[in-house]
Amino acid sequence: MKDYKIRNLINYYLPKKKLNILDCGCHKGNFLKKIGLKRLKNGYLVDPLDYNVIRKLKLKNFKFLPYCLGSTSKKQSFTIYSSKYPEWSSINSLGPKSIYKKRYYKYLNKKNIKKFVHQTTIDNILKKNKKKIDILKIDCQSTSLEILEGSKKNLKKKSFNMIIVAINLSEFYKNKKDDFLKILKLLDTHGYELINIANAHSGKLGNLNYDFFNFKIWTFDSIFIKKNLSKI
């Protein structure tokens, strides 16, 4: 049986068009590569750390915003826990049960690097944007619900055709997991339905990331579409 990935699903629901993307937690542009760079039109890349994605991937019509995202706008303390894996950086703290501490402690910095960053909301970012966003992608270290709560105005307006949300069901950060049920309810209330899940790393549809020591789900990407998307 053929392995289908996020790219196949996007090509099915959003065929034959260049895509406008809002990538929250863009890191090094891995999600954009999963879609296929030739399909990209324009959009926003948001991340507290600048990996020079626009220059490296030659994304002429994209704008990079050096923010973290949440339900409100404010100044936030942000910690870089690993220089080797800066994508582990977060506004959340690491507790003794953190997977990073239990499984990957050798990659953690001996001394954390702290900085202050500006937190904003998706609604603020899109305040002056008049174009519909084809895909909203959120992968921001166990803060998915807060970020979606900061986009309620645009959810109400159905500004997104597809929403891809990273879900951490295990404790990567102290007393912090993504509340998948609340996310499902919030998006359902605004007219979005869950259609699939994907492996957070490979993008393979219907596949999860496990902790095989105890067969516990670690993380996955949940994929939602606007309920009338098939009629577009």
For the segment 109-162, what is each residue's pLDDT rounded down to a tens digit?
999 999 999 999 999 999 988 778 999 999 999 999 999 999 999 999 999 999
Q: Judge contact between 126 and 46, C-beta under 8 A.
A: no
**Positive or negative torsion for Cα 28, 213, 101, 170:** positive
Asked if 10 contacts 227 with a C-beta cutoff of 8 angstroms, the reply is: no
pLDDT band for position 21 (50/70/90)? very high
CB contact at 8 A, 106 and 84: no
**Sign of the torsion angle spanned by Cα atoms 68, 182, 201, 126:** negative
* Alpha-carbon 153 to chain mean position: 19
The pLDDT assigned to 1 comes to 60
Q: What is the dihedral of CA 172, 30, 67, 225, to 10 degrees?
A: -90
Percentage with pLDDT > 70 across the chain: 98
- Model pTM score: 0.95
The Cβ-side half-sphere exposure at 59, using a 13 Å CA radius, reads 26
Question: pLDDT tens digits, residue range 186-219?
Answer: 999 999 999 999 999 999 999 998 877 778 899 9
d(CA 5, CA 24): 20
**151: CB partners within 8 A, 6+ apart:** 121, 122, 123, 126, 136
Residue type, 37: L
More confident residue, 56 or 228: 56
- What pLDDT does residue 37 have? 94
Helix (H, G, I), strand (E, B) or coil at 78: strand
Q: What is the DSSP letter of 113?
A: E
pLDDT greater than 80 at residue 231: no
**List of residues 6+ apart from 114 with CB closer than 8 A:** 77, 78, 79, 80
Q: Are 81 and 94 in contact (CB under 8 A)?
A: yes
Task: Quick: pLDDT tens for 210-225.
Answer: 877 778 899 999 999 9
DSSP helix/strand/coil, 91: coil
Nearest one of 137, 22, 150, 135 to 76, comparing CA atoms: 150
